Chain A
């Protein structure tokens, strides 16, 4: 019980820290640029980070379960390429959506089956499928660009959600809805508890009767599906399907998840943390953009935050243990032994 309370305190502290970072970013951003806290800017932030934010959610569950998925951005690219090719071939849009969703699920299933049924390390497998799925996108589209999507769909990337004054993008709305769903599943269902359990110890979870392999496979399939959705959003936002859509985004997605306090070794992390980390990441990128910082170099800040995410908890632990090390040990009378008289 005591242990549980201790752990809850530790988790709360990390999320509190992140919330403070978000507040600091808001203050710094709004003092640096008068445009920072405007509705139009909110729209831009949502637009440029929507797909990344959406992809962090399934990855969070995968990392908590003790695995990793580096193929997320390649699934996004593959979905985008497929969308372009099928649309160019004259398929009706609903049929295109269903096909893209099925391919996303299949891509996730391949990851999941390789990891769970063949027992291969997920880091290596998903580096492989990172290349494979990007390769399929490249084969599908080659050097071509598809940019003739109907305006009814590309408007998704231009207009806000009605009733919000046009300041909230559809991708933001989808992220919020998904965050609620993932949050409920992770924190309030048996399946969610099972994910933590297998992340803490896959073997113990297995012996406790949790279907570790099945749940992990399902997580990868969900990731595939969500990433293909992100691919569709990405394509419509830019009104372009090219083979390198979303190239390299996996690093941003992983960085956000780790920044959120999700342990790379599994078993630890919250959806609230991920939402806060998304806000911090998006806020910093945007503040740097508005202050004319070299946009390409904004990775420095992402990297520094990532380092902070692993060093701050460690430093806190050192500080807690330090007094014990420094304080001189009391010597008990028994150790000195019976005194000669």
Chain B
């Protein structure tokens, strides 16, 4: 904030008080605005990026390209939804990539094993596998009271190991999968992929839940201060367990969608996705130590990363630049969050002084 408090040498108390009041009013406005500012920040970055790319290479904005970006985003936006719930509660889920891989193979394999199996049943299988993994993570973190970073790092290995032991050397290929299943990411309405719309609705529902429902708000409270949340009577363990179970279930669904999107699945599906998902969440303004951020921000973070990948491709910049740009962007996003937090804290402090 650029406000100065002119306290004159003769100590005009009225001026000083008025200026302090003005100061704190601005602080209040800032505090209220700042919770929205991160999402709009990403939208601005996204818009600038798209505008520059389109100005250099107009074919960036053609329909098939946009469809491609949206479809590319869906899996990551879904994973980011689950990850956001976990990160908000001051935890992290590093096992999402492995859960996605296990679910992708095990569920798509059902088509070969049981020809004619209804597609919703396959999705239910993916959901079940994912939720089972999430329940294991959640139990260990919430009941065993051990750091989630360690637990999910371990299950990242173990779930991937199970995937490899069961399915190593095997492959599900496109010809084994029914056409209706493969069409899921490809069907469009008015040029917009159905799947992108469905995911947007899911994300919207997730955002509404976290913002409005008591149990959603409690996740933020737990992330801001776990001890205070416990003293306030919030069932901390139960909420954290639920967040992990949800993250696992979502990763399971994402695995089935991944299978539909790529058509060829082996035991390495989704390797390394955990870091990309955490990147998307952090770029989207979710604080890595919990307590703030939104699902919409995280989904926009996933969209931004997918857009950058495609934009670099369209601009003819070697895809070898992707990762370095991702990394820089991630660091910039964290630094920006830190600046906002510091300003917000000092603004809130000056508002509190007035009330005293």
Residue positions of A touching B, CB distance < 8 A: 114, 118-121, 123-125, 127-136, 138-139, 142-143, 243, 248, 251, 254-255, 258, 264-265, 294, 296-304, 306-307, 309-311, 314
Contacts and interface: CB of A to CB of B under 8 A. Distances in A.
B334 A311 contact: no
A135 B162 contact: no
A127 B279 CA distance: 8
Pick from B154, B323, B334 the residue with the most CB of A within 10 Å: B154
B326 interface: yes
Given A121-B289, A129-B327, A307 B165 contact: no
Main secondary structure of the interface of B (DSSP, over half): helix
Given A131-B275, A297-B165, A304 B323 contact: no
Contacts of B288: 121, 123-124
B161 A306 contact: no
Nearest to B323: A135
Contacts of B168: 294, 296-297
Contact of B157 (A119, A135, A143, A299): A299
Given A127-B275, A300-B157, A310 B334 contact: no
B157 A303 contact: yes
Contacts, number: 145
Interface of B: 92, 140, 144-147, 149-151, 153-158, 160-162, 164-165, 168, 271-272, 275, 278-279, 282, 288-289, 318, 320-328, 330-331, 334-335, 338
Contacts of B161: 296-301, 303
Contact of A138 (B156, B279, B323, B338): B323
Contacts of A307: 140, 150-151, 154, 158
B326 to A, nearest CB: 5
Pick from B275, B278, B323 the residue with the most CB of A within 10 Å: B323
A333 B331 CA distance: 64
A122 B28 CA distance: 31
Pick from A124, A264, A309 the residue with the most CB of B within 10 Å: A124
B327 A128 contact: yes
Contacts of B335: 114, 118, 120
Contacts of B157: 251, 255, 299-300, 302-303, 306
A-B interface, 8 closest residue pairs, ranked by CB to CB distance from nearest:
A135-B324, A132-B327, A300-B161, A303-B157, A131-B327, A135-B323, A299-B157, A303-B158
Contact of A135 (B153, B164, B321): B321
A292 to B, nearest CB: 13
A124 B149 contact: no
B235 to A, nearest CB: 21
Contacts of A299: 157-158, 160-161, 164
Contacts of A143: 320
Contacts of B327: 128-135
Contacts of B151: 307, 310
A158 to B, nearest CB: 30
6 contacts: A129-B331, A131-B327, A139-B321, A142-B318, A255-B154, A310-B151
Given A125-B331, A129-B327, A135-B322, A251 B282 contact: no
Contact of B149 (A248, A264, A300): A264
Nearest to B268: A296
Nearest to A74: B327
B25 to A, nearest CB: 29
Contacts of B165: 294, 297, 300
A248 B150 CA distance: 16
A306 B153 contact: yes
A264 B324 contact: no
Contacts of B334: 120-121, 124-125, 128
Given A129-B331, A132-B326, A294-B165, 10 more contacts: A120-B338, A128-B330, A132-B327, A135-B324, A258-B153, A296-B164, A303-B161, A306-B150, A306-B157, A307-B150
Contact of A303 (B155, B164, B325, B328): B155
A139 B324 contact: yes
